[in-house]
Structure formats: structure tokens, C-alpha cells
Amino acid sequence: MNYSEGDFAKVVQKRLIDMEMTQAEFAAKCGVAPSTVSAWYQGKSTPRADALIKAAEALNLTPNDLLGFN
């Protein structure tokens, strides 16, 4: 299975909409700046391992789900 940063962005976009969570709220739960979440949301970057775990927890997903592997 191939992975691209776009997979992560699509999962985050869909999940934030489904959970009615703003990017700012998500950033606070992940312990990162809103600009960092914006970059994730746009597919410009992906989180480091520690932020990935927090992001997955905030979105009630596993890290693999968040990365689009499942």
C-alpha cells in the first residue's frame, strides 16, 4: 500500500467535519499551533510521531487510520 501526505489531509478534513471540530480546537488538542494544523489540512506536511498520536486520540482514530492505512 502506498502512502501520500494527501491521504492524511483527507482523513483529517473528513474527520473534523464529522466531529464538528474547528482547526483551532484540533490544534489545541494536539498541542500544536493552528498554522501547523492548517499545513496538515492542506496536505503540505504531516505530524511528527508525538503529534500524530495526539491527533489520532483527538479524532478517535488509530494512527494507522489517520494515515490512511486502514
Please give the model's pTM, rounded to 2 decimal places. 0.86
Tens digit of each residue's pLDDT (9 = 90 or more) over 13-70? 999 999 999 999 999 999 999 999 999 999 899 899 999 999 999 999 999 989 888 6
- Alpha helix segments (H runs only) across the chain: 5-19, 23-30, 34-41, 49-58, 63-66
Q: Say if residues 43 and 5 touch (Cβ distance below 8 Å).
A: yes
Q: Say if residues 12 and 40 touch (Cβ distance below 8 Å).
A: yes
| Longest CA span, the chain | 31
Cα 11 to Cα 29: distance, rounded to the nearest angstrom? 17
Which residues make Cβ contacts (< 8 Å) with residue 28, sequence separation at least 6?
A: none
